[in-house]
């Protein structure tokens, strides 16, 4: 359980000591607070906020300004937790200088500890430039939601020897470019295990099994809030969607029946003032 904000060195040491780092996404102040209180090692302000907060069908419409705005709230909620800002679609693909500038915004405006971007060899120039700018940057390979169109949908990756070998090469290139860590999404566990064993830097899994240096999950999945679809790798630890609907319905029902608000939810007039008021109103 995290008691102070971890550093890159702590995360590296956790890998070397085979201690699992646990992280979760958060997009707002309260979730970040709860994540910190639960002892998360890291928080990702994922561009999954497009689906979890804004109701988009994917992450492509998410903007830099939205990511900064939510990262600021998360930082306020979790001052003592390592926070990663997720670079949204077209914030780093267009050019290397734009990638460095946008990564810098996360640090300057939202106070994150690191940024993450999706892709393998094709984003290594950006990773190197961001790292050369003195910023911590994490890679993300496997199922990369921003390019899910190219991948043919939200599908598992690296299931054949040839595609797994490409992922392993991407992972190596990302480390060589200067990333401090790598996230592997929706890939068979044995492929993630090979990547973890080959790389010096920490390799984290979301939907890539247990052979990793840590696990990431999306908060809305863990809480059972997100309803549009449930990936195979998701375990719901709560059913907050139904609990929320039940609470709203109970409030509506009690309001309509007059059971709410009860006496204990109302303010009392100062003794004798009601009588004074009624006589005042008669004048």
Binding interface with ligand KIV (CB under 6 A): 25, 44, 46-48, 86, 145, 183, 185, 206, 216, 218
CB nearer to ligand KIV: pick between 187 and 248? 187
CB 171 within 8 A of CB 190: no
CB nearer to ligand KIV: pick between 15 and 70? 70
Q: Is 185 tagged catalytic?
A: yes
- Residue 219 has which token pair? 């908060």
Q: Determine which one of 109, 185, 254, 263 is catalytic.
A: 185
φ, ψ for residue 88, nearest 5 deg: -75, 170
Query: Closest-CB residue for ligand KIV?
Result: 46
Q: Hey, how many other C-beta atoms are within 10 angstroms of the C-beta on 182?
A: 27
CB nearer to ligand KIV: pick between 6 and 183? 183
CB nearer to ligand KIV: pick between 86 and 213? 86
Name which of 27, 31, 93 is nearest 60 in CA terms: 93
**Complete DSSP assignment for 197-257:** HH-SS-EEEESS-SSSSEEEE-HHHHTT---S---TT---S--HHHHHHHHHHHHHHHHHH
CB 233 within 8 A of CB 185: no
- Residue 176 has which token pair? 């060589």
CA distances from 165 to 100, 169, 172, 200 (A): 29, 6, 11, 18
**Complete DSSP assignment for 5-31:** ---HHHHHHHHHTTPPEEEEE--SHHH
CB nearer to ligand KIV: pick between 48 and 175? 48
CA distances from 217 to 61, 204, 224 (A): 22, 11, 12
- Cβ neighbours of residue 201 closer than 8 Å, sequence gap 6 or more: 12, 15, 175, 179, 180, 181, 182
Q: How far is the CB of 154 from ligand KIV (least distance, A)?
A: 10
Q: How far does CA 104 lie from the centroid of its chain?
A: 19
- Would you please indicate which residues are annotated as catalytic (active-site) residues? 185
């Amino acid at each position: 359980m995290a008691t102070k904000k971890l550093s890159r060195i702590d995360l590296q040491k956790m890998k070397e000591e085979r201690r699992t780092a646990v992280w979760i996404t958060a997009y707002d102040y309260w979730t970040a607070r709860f994540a910190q209180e639960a002892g998360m090692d890291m928080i990702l302000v994922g561009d999954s906020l497009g689906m979890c907060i804004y109701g988009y069908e994917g992450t492509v419409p998410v903007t830099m300004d939205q990511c900064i705005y939510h990262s600021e709230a998360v930082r306020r909620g979790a001052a003592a937790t390592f926070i990663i800002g997720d670079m949204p679609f077209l914030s780093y693909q267009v050019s290397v200088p734009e990638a460095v500038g946008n990564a810098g915004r996360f640090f300057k405006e939202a106070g994150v500890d690191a940024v993450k971007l999706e892709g393998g060899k094709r984003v290594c120039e950006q990773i190197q430039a961001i790292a050369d700018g003195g910023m911590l940057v994490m890679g993300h390979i496997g199922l990369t939601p921003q390019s899910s169109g190219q991948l043919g949908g939200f599908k598992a990756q690296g299931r054949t020897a040839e595609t797994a070998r490409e992922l392993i090469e991407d992972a190596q290139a990302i480390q060589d470019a200067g990333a401090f860590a790598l996230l592997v999404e929706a890939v068979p566990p044995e492929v993630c295990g090979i990547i973890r064993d080959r790389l010096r830097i920490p390799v984290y899994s979301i939907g890539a099994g247990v052979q990793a240096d840590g696990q990431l999950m999306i908060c809305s999945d863990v809480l059972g809030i997100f309803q549009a679809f449930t990936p195979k790798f998701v375990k719901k630890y709560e059913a907050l969607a139904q609990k929320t609907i039940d609470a709203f319905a109970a409030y509506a029902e009690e309001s309509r029946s007059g059971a709410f608000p009860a006496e204990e939810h109302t303010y009392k007039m100062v003794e004798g003032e009601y009588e004074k008021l009624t006589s005042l109103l008669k004048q």
